Amino acid sequence: MSSNTQQRNAVATSTFTPREIVSELDRYIVGQNAAKRAVAIALRNRWRRQQVPSDLRDEIAPKNILMIGPTGVGKTEIARRLAKLAQAPFLKIEASKFTEVGYVGRDVESMVRDLTELAIQMIKEEETAVVEVKAREAAEEQILDLLLPGSEEDDDPDARGGNPTREKLRRKLRDGAFEDKFVEIDVSEKQGPSVEVFSPNGLEEMGINFKDMLGNLFPQRTRRRKVKVSEAREILAQEQAQKMIDMDQVTKDALQRVEQAGIIFLDEIDKIAGRESSHGPDVSREGVQRDLLPLIEGSTVNTKYGMVRTDHILFIAAGAFHVSKVTDLIPELQGRFPIRVELDPLTQADFVRILKEPRNSLIKQYIALLKTEGLDMEFKDDAIDEMARIGAEVNQRTENIGARRLHTIMERLLEDISFRAPEMDHNKPINIDGAYVRERLEGLVKDEDLSRYIL
């Protein structure tokens, strides 16, 4: 299984050239070419590093990226799409959630433990897909045993397979004849009390191990459930898949993938960039930065699955830096983010493109949502232009929240249609034009107080 996992990793990263990565990001994110190029090179460098001689491989450190730009311009979306392309364990977390050791809150090492949990789940899902066919075949045999009492007593699988009655039942089962028939199955369940362990800051791992220890004190038991064949097939297939997966190998592969391909996206890093001060919350902010430093430079973190080295985890940090500046970060931390890209504020023209072009554009989403009610909706070009103008204007007059403003505008615009959709005439298409947009939103835009709180 380990070789299969490594092969999948290699394919995932080598398939895409930097140009292809940027092209893929273009399908979802408008503009921000400098940021796209930076992350594309960083992702390709991960594959390049795997190809160099082993004696040099460990010396090549990831080039961490700091993205600077206002909220809602695509920082998080770039990192999220990048992780999907890389098929890598990806964790998005806000830097402001952490406190330095000694304060109440989470310590920075917990992000590596969270990333490891995600990798374990990712590898388990991949391996479940590999054994799915065999697991379903085994589940089918169990169901046939339940439908044909006494057949399970025959220890010879070939003899069971040659039973004419059993084969007739198998054909009926596959044709869906027994989907609503009830059968009784034994379902595994771990007995024991539900315990929530609260551990002191920095000692989360002790809490995890204590819960595991309590769980192991209670034996695994089964209880009999009466379910439909359709439900029994899924339950039994899951249990069979669990038996076929080597969890020791899953853990080994997951740790390797975290160390070699893990990506941590640190959002709102500007919130821990406090100016020099000898009192107040700035002390804690600087403490978080100093705790982050060894993690980003490369250290070893203890998890419930084993030790994880962070030397080659890629860190992507992002922040608006409205109040603070990048230079307010401690110099050592600044040095660990050698690649810095500034994202551009979004213009009215960008809003038009955001509404129309991406594969998952807002307009396509709302058209699909109302299609479920049997309604056909079409947005005219002048309606899109008008929404983009309003979004840019409200951003300029109030807080600039980037493309997120368009979500609010779309909700306000379509509120009445969304509410009345089930009762509307399904044979009459809905055309959204510029006049409709102005009618619904112009009053809110003109009233600055209303636009501040509603749009």
Residue 137 half-sphere exposure, CB side, CA atoms within 13 Å?
7
Which of 260, 313, 255 shows the shortest CA–CA distance to 64?
313
| pLDDT(45) > 60 | yes
More confident residue, 185 or 212: 185
> Looking at residue 238, what is its pLDDT?
85
| pLDDT(7) > 50 | no
Task: State how beta strands 314-319 and 263-267 pair.
Answer: parallel
> Looking at residue 307, what is its pLDDT?
92
Handedness of CA 227, 230, 234, 240 (dihedral sign): positive
**Residues 108-149 pLDDT 10s:** 888 899 999 999 998 988 888 888 888 888 888 888 888 777
- Rg, Å, the chain Cα set: 28
Average pLDDT over residues 304-332: 88
Average pLDDT, rounded, for the chain: 80
Helix (H, G, I), strand (E, B) or coil at 303: strand
Q: What are phi and psi of 325, to 5 degrees?
A: -120, 165
Helix (H, G, I), strand (E, B) or coil at 163: coil
If one counts every other C-beta atom within 10 angstroms of the C-beta of residue 48, the result is 13
Average pLDDT over residues 180-203: 60
Q: Which residue do the tokens 């359709």 mark? A: 230
Would you place residue 384 in the very low, low, confident or very high pLDDT band (cuts 50, 70, 90)? very high
| Joined tokens for residue 200 | 């002191």
| pLDDT(417) > 50 | yes
**Residues 70-115 pLDDT 10s:** 888 888 888 888 878 877 888 888 888 887 665 556 778 888 999 9
| Joined tokens for residue 278 | 């000898």
> Looking at residue 115, what is its pLDDT?
92
Share above pLDDT 70 across residues of the chain, in percent, rounded to a whole number: 81
**Residues 385-403 pLDDT 10s:** 999 998 888 888 877 788 8
> Looking at residue 381, what is its pLDDT?
92
